[in-house]
Amino acid sequence: MISIFKIFNPLNILWLAILLFITRIGFIATVPDKLEFIFVEPFARLLVPVSYEYAFSPGLNVFLAGVLVLGQALLLNYLVNFYNLLGRSTFLPALMYVTLSALFAPFMVLSAPLICNFLVIWMLFKLFSFYKSDDAKSTAYDLGMIVAIGSIIYLPYIYLFLSIWIALVIFKPFNWREWVSGILGYITIFFFFAVFYYLNNKLGSFYHIWAPLGTKFPNRININYYNYLVLIPVLLLLGLYFFKLQQNYYKSYVQVRKSFQLLFIIFLIGGLSFYVKTEFNLNHFLLCAVPAAVFFSYYFINANIRWMYESLYLLLLISIIYFQFNTF
């Protein structure tokens, strides 16, 4: 399987679609009778004045989620190849994204984090462009607006604003105007949002939007650890990725090294921002799937022992399907 996707062949899109179905077959067989879909935060509910939470049947919900995942996989694949992050064109990023997006049942339905992954990929296009940009003010402004839109869809997305400043530190010399431009972009969206609140006589509650940001980081999370055994091959592959990266780090171009630094920061921000939501939901960690897919692709493109990397991917695939049928 890995050998097929190492080659940049448009026919791999068909294989991706088939794999998308295979990795979801267990969930499709046991799909609940009702699936809720919320794509804006409660404070933005006025923007969608109709009942939509159960507008899609469970089957249609899973199908549309699969279509979005396939589209995001192809966009991510184009991004990685465009910036030559892996050294050659390949379909591995798309394969890894489709695989990781099936890790848990909440990943396989329509959700706000799934929609936000389009914004994550869009941001990465702009963030990576900092390296060759003489003047990044307009790009930083655009990025601030993207983060604001993401915050309206899914509030924890607000923390990805930090990735704008971190990218400026990594890719460019300090220029305070570029740092301020990101803030102005964010404020622009919420200025119009405040006007909308004012027109609906709700301006007094506008500041409550950011109240969840004051939530303390939890000391403990109650989870069933047996349901997370599927992460064992994921953690193993992450460890192998860091080992390969350490081996080849100084052999890579400067832009590639800095890009992987930024991806790691985004991975951490996406993972650690889960506590903002009052109810812990696994679908939040879809925000980590984009950088993680690039990490896994880096390992597989540089792995030399075929039986080993094919076996590791097969182990991951079998684990995903097995735990869809066995939730303990």
Domain ranges of the chain: 2-211+224-325
pLDDT category of residue 32 using cuts at 50, 70 and 90: confident
Amino acid 124: pLDDT: 95
pLDDT at 261: 92
Of 136-140, 256-260, 302-306, give the lowest mean pLDDT range: 302-306
Radius of gyration for the alpha carbons in the chain, expressed in angstroms and rounded: 20
First to last CA, the chain: 29
Higher pLDDT, 227 or 268: 268
d(CA 271, CA 288): 6
Q: Taking the CB of residue 289, how many other CB atoms lie within 10 A of it?
A: 27
What is the C-alpha separation between 54 and 6, in angstroms, rounded? Answer: 40
Cβ atoms of 85 and 256 closer than 8 Å:
yes
Please, which pLDDT band fits residue 309 given cuts at 50, 70 and 90? Answer: confident
Is pLDDT at 107 greater than 70 in this prediction?
yes
Question: Which tops the pLDDT comparison, 222 or 213?
Answer: 213
Is a pLDDT exceeding 60 seen at residue 223? no
Structure-model confidence comparison of residues 269 and 135, the more confident one: 269
Band the pLDDT of 218: cuts 50, 70, 90. Answer: low
DSSP output for 29-63:
HT--S------S-GGGGGGS-S--TT-S-HHHHHH
The share of the chain scoring above pLDDT 70, in percent, equals 92
Mean local confidence (pLDDT), 172-198: 89
Distance CA 16, CA 73 (A): 9
Q: What is the pLDDT of residues 229-273, one digit of tens each?
A: 778 888 888 898 888 888 877 777 888 889 999 999 999 999 888
Query: How confident is the prediction for the chain on average, in pLDDT?
Result: 85
What pLDDT does 227 receive?
Answer: 63
User: Given a cut of 80, is residue 100 above it in pLDDT?
Assistant: yes
Distance CA(327)–CA(304), nearest Å, equals 35
Q: Which of 262, 234, 227, 226 is nearest to 85 (CA)?
A: 262
96 pLDDT band, cuts 50/70/90, is: very high
